[in-house]
Amino acid sequence: MPVDYRCYFVTGAGDPREVADRAAQAASGGAGVIQVRSKPISARSLLALARSVSEAVAAANPATRVLVDDRVDVALALMREGANVHGVHVGQDDLPVPAVRSLLGPQAIIGLTTGTLELVRAANKVAGALDYVGCGPFRPTPTKDSGRVPLGVAGYAPIVKESLVPVVAIGDVTADDVAELAATGIAGTAIVRGIMNADSPSDYCATVLAEFERGRR
């Protein structure tokens, strides 16, 4: 099945039970991808958190894909035990994409952090082993300091044109930004705080999907 990147929830720090519950609510609201990220965190704690999230998401919406942030070893361990985990999102300083593909196999979903035309062109060289690129920051964000210049809406169209794989916008994206971003041709929007802090993650995700389709029109 094709991956639905339109509403992509990246989990934030918090009580593991609350994070799993919010992930389940996001999945029930239509989030196509949930990336388990909680920094700083040990590999063992991330393993337990991702397992808990994967179980909650599978019960809420079996179509939602669950990815692990950075830790290929954690993703591999969970996939081998049959958990509802589908792949990994890696950064520029993590294992190279071809090595990740070799470890996780042909069915795994693999994403890579980018955010400049130079990084996207480098990602194109491994596009055969890559499913999508996360691209940002859209605007400055307190959850992650990449050191890259924020792209704003205008920065995405050239990147979409250059990239050989789907582009997901990230970096303090909110539901209010989604329609304008979708109009640039991106495949999806990754959101952290908007969903983590929403009164109803399910309703928030449903709004993101509606706004994405409005932008596409």
The annotation places the binding site at 35-39, 69-70, 94, 113, 141-144
Nearest residue to 195 (alpha-carbon basis) of 73, 33, 4, 46: 33
Distance of alpha carbon 122 from alpha carbon 109, whole angstroms: 19
Annotated binding-site members for Mg(2+):
70, 94
The CA distances from residue 18 to 24, 25, 53, 114, 129, in Å, are 10, 10, 10, 29, 34
Helices 72-80 & 97-104 angle (0-180, nearest 10): 10
Burial class (CB in 10 A: 0-12, 13-18, 19+), 120: buried
Q: Residue 17 corresponds to which tokens in the numbers above?
A: 């039970």
